[in-house]
Amino acid sequence: MIDRDKISRALFGKSKYVYWLCLALVLLVYVLLVFYFEPPHVIFGDLPISGRDLDTHVEQAYRVSEALDGWGKSWAYDPQMLAGYPNGTIFDADNKAWELWTFALWKMGLPRGLAFNLFLLFAHIMCPIVIFFSARMFGLNRSSALIAMSLGLAVWFFDGFIHWAWWEGMTAYSLASFLFLLPLALFYNYLADRRRWRVILLAVVMALGHLIHPYIFFMLALPMVVLYASRFRSLKIEQHLSIAGVVLLTIAVNWYWLAVAIRFWHYILDSGYLGASTLDHLFTDYFGLVSDRSVTGGAGMRSGFRFISLAAAAVTLFYWKKDGDRRFLMFAVGLISLAIMTYVGGYFHFGQQVQPYRFAAPLIFLSVIPAAYLVQRIVETRALAGLPLTARLLGVIILLVAAPRLIRDALYFIPDGVPKAAALVDEKPRVTDMIGFGNIGYPEHKVFAHEPIHEDFLLLAWWLENHKGYDGRVAVENWTLGELLAWKTDMQVLGGFRLRNLQHSAANFFRRYPVGMLPRGELRRFLETYSVRYVIASVTFKRFYDSPSMLTRVAEIGHHVIFESRLPVSFFARGSGEVKASMNLISVTGTDPDEDVVLRYHWLETLRCKGASGGGACDIVREPVRDNPVGFMRIPAGHPADFDIINEY
C-alpha cells in the first residue's frame, strides 16, 4: 500500500504546511494570469467581449436568447443574416451551453453582454478544478495532482494552440477539451467500485459536456468503449442498465438541438476547411514552427510544455504496461487515438470535417495526468538517488537548455515582461511591426488578452444606424465585423463567418470571391440579386473602385471603406410594395394580388404565408436563384395585397 502522505512529504518537505503554501502560490499565479488575459473592466462590462470568432458566438447567443424568450424555441428564421437564415439550427452546435448560459443569466437580470462574458470566466475557473480532481480520481496523491494541475494550467495559458483557441473564440471547445477528463475518471472509477453516486454524477457531466461541445463525444467514445468492453462480463445487469441510462440521459438532454440539426441537415455544406492536420505538423509543432495558420491557429507555435507532458506520459505508459497497472489500457487508447486524430486525421474526409488538429487540446490535457504520475513514481522509487554523477550533470545540462524554451513560451503570451527592443536611429515604425503574432520582443505583438469592442467597429455600427433610411442590405468583408453588425444593429447583413457550413452562405459575396479580380457582370448580379445598399470592404476595397457606375465610396472608417450602390435596391425580385422584416416574420404590404411576388429572402420549409389581419390565405413556394441552392420565396398570384410570411416551426 502506497503511503500518499509520505510521498507528499518527500515531494514538498516535512512540514504539512508546505503543500498548502505551494497550492496557494499556484492559485495566486493562476488568478493573476486569468485577470491579465481577462481584464476585469472588459469581462465584467455590459458589452460582450469582441474580436475574432467571439462575435460569431455573441450573435448566436443573442439570436437564440431572442428565440427562447419570444417563442420558447432554440432556433429562428433570422432575416437579419444572409438574406434569411435558420439561426440556431446546425452552425451553432458548438455553442449550445453558452447560449443557454447567456439566456438564463440575462433573464435573471444581468446585462446580456456580461452574461455572455461570464462563460469565459467559468471556463478559466473550471480548468484547475477539473484537472486536480480528475487526477485524484485516477489515483494520484494530492501532491502529484497539484503537479498535474500546474502543468495543465501551463498548457492552458502557454501552449500556442490552446491559448489561441480560447482567446479567438473556441472557448466552449477549449472547456470541453479538459472537461472530458472528469467523465472519463468517473467512468473508470465506476467500473472499478460500482458506487452509484459516480454513475449519477457521470450522467450529469456527460449530458452537460455534450451541451458545451458535441466533439466531447469523439474525445470519450473510444476509451470508454474499450473500458466498457474490458469489464463487460464482470458487470451485473444493474450496472449495464446504469450505463445505458447515462447514454439515454445524455441524448435526452441534448435532443432539443439534435432534433433541429437533423431536421435541417440537408442544408449542410462541406466543413473541411480548417485544422486539416497531417504528419508534417507533428514535426513543425515539435520544432516550434508555423507551417499553416489555417491548421494550427494564428499564434506562434509554442509547444514546450506540450511535448514535455507528452514525453513524460509516454514513459508512464511504459511503466504502467510493465507493472500491469489497470490505468494503462484507458490512457493508452485515449492518448494514441487522440494523437492519431490530431496528426493523421487530415488525410481522411471524416477527419477533415471535424477539424482534426483541434484534438491536440484534449491530447495534451489527457497527458498531464500520467506526466504528473511520473514525478510521483520517481519519488516513490528514489530513482534519481542512484544515478551516477555523469547522468546528473547531463540532466542539469538538459534542464538548462529546456528551461529557456519554456520561459520563452510563457513570455510570448506576456510580452509586457519582455525588454523592449531598441529601434535603429533612422528606422520608422511600420504597421507590420505593431501587429505581429509570430515573435517575441521584436517586432512587438499584441497581448493575447481579450479587449473591448474595437473603436472602428463601433463607429461603423454607428454610421450604418444613421444611414439606413431605406431598403437594402450591407455586404461585409471582415467576418468579425459582419457578425458584430448583425448582433449590435438591426441591419440586414450579408457576411459574417465566411465558412459557415450551411447553403445560405451562398449569399456571402466574399465567400465566393475572397480575393482577386471579379468576373465580368458578377458584382452587378450580386448587388441586384441580394438587394445590397452598402458594401464594406476591409482588405480588397481597391477592386470596388473599378466599378464607379455601380458603387460610390461614401465613407472611410479606419481601414474600412464603405461603398453605396448606385443601382436600384428592392427586396422584390418580382412585384412591388413594402417589406418589413424581423425575427420569424416578414410583413409585406401594398402588393398587387393578381401578380406573383418574389421576395429576395431565402425560402425555408417552415415558412407559411397568411393574409395580414385575417385577410385570406396564400401559398409560398421556392423560387430558384442562380448559384444559390436554397432559393428565394415566391407567393403565387391570388394572394392578399397585405400578407405575412411567418415561421411556424
Return the pLDDT at 381.
78
pLDDT band at 295 (very low <50, low <70, confident <90, very high): very high
Helices (H), 79-215: 96-107, 112-137, 142-158, 160-168, 171-179, 181-193, 196-212
Average the pLDDT over 69-86 and give the result: 97
Return the pLDDT at 394.
82
- Residue 65 CA to residue 74 CA, distance in Å, equals 8
pLDDT tens sequence across 344-375 = 999 999 999 999 999 999 999 999 999 999 99
- Residue 9 CA to residue 143 CA, distance in Å, equals 9
Return the pLDDT at 436.
59
Give, for 645, the enclosing helix (H) or strand (E).
Answer: strand 643-647
Return the pLDDT at 3.
56
pLDDT tens sequence across 434-480 = 455 666 766 677 788 999 999 999 999 999 999 876 689 999 999 99
pLDDT band at 11 (very low <50, low <70, confident <90, very high): low
Give the N- to C-terminal CA distance of the chain in Å, as an integer: 61
Question: What is the DSSP annotation of 133-150?
Answer: HHHHHTT--HHHHHHHHH
pLDDT tens sequence across 173-215 = 999 999 999 999 999 999 999 999 999 999 999 999 999 999 9
* Position 614 pLDDT exceeds 90: no
Residue 595 is classified by DSSP as S
Q: Which of 41-45, 231-235, 612-616 has the lowest mean pLDDT?
A: 612-616
Q: Say how many C-beta atoms besides its own lie within 10 A of residue 108's C-beta.
A: 8
**CB-neighbour burial class of residue 547 (10 A; exposed 0-12, middle 13-18, buried 19+):** middle
* Position 425 pLDDT exceeds 80: no
Q: Cβ distance 476 to 496 under 8 Å?
A: yes
* Position 324 pLDDT exceeds 50: yes
Cβ neighbours of residue 600 under 8 Å, at least 6 residues apart? 83, 529, 530, 531, 570, 571, 572, 573, 632
**CB-neighbour burial class of residue 277 (10 A; exposed 0-12, middle 13-18, buried 19+):** buried
- Residue 180 CA to residue 439 CA, distance in Å, equals 33
**CB-neighbour burial class of residue 406 (10 A; exposed 0-12, middle 13-18, buried 19+):** middle
Report which of residues 237 and 615 the model is more confident about. Answer: 237
Task: Kindly state the cell numbers that stand for 412.
Answer: 510570448
pLDDT tens sequence across 93-147 = 999 999 999 999 999 999 999 999 999 999 999 999 999 999 999 999 999 999 9
Return the pLDDT at 432.
45
Average the pLDDT over 514-521 and give the result: 90
pLDDT tens sequence across 53-68 = 999 999 999 999 999 9
pTM of the model: 0.93
Cβ neighbours of residue 424 under 8 Å, at least 6 residues apart? none
Task: Kindly state the cell numbers that stand for 491.
Answer: 441591419
Task: Kindly state the cell numbers that stand for 203.
Answer: 450522467
- Residue 21 CA to residue 4 CA, distance in Å, equals 18
- Residue 265 CA to residue 172 CA, distance in Å, equals 22
Question: What is the DSSP annotation of 170-182?
Answer: -HHHHHHHHHTHH
- Residue 587's DSSP bridge partners are 580, 644
Q: Cα angle vertex 592, ends 618, 638, to 5°?
A: 30
Return the pLDDT at 402.
87
Cβ-defined contacts of 235-240 (< 8 Å, 24+): 235/191, 236/194, 239/190, 239/194, 239/199
Residue 385 is classified by DSSP as T
pLDDT band at 433 (very low <50, low <70, confident <90, very high): very low
Return the pLDDT at 427.
55
Short-list 175, 168, 122, CA closest to 152: 175
Report which of residues 567 and 424 the model is more confident about. Answer: 567
Report which of residues 379 and 215 the model is more confident about. Answer: 215
Short-list 571, 568, 594, CA closest to 581: 571
Three-state SS for 497? coil
- Helix, strand, coil % (nearest 5) of the chain? 55, 10, 30
- Residue 56 CA to residue 58 CA, distance in Å, equals 5
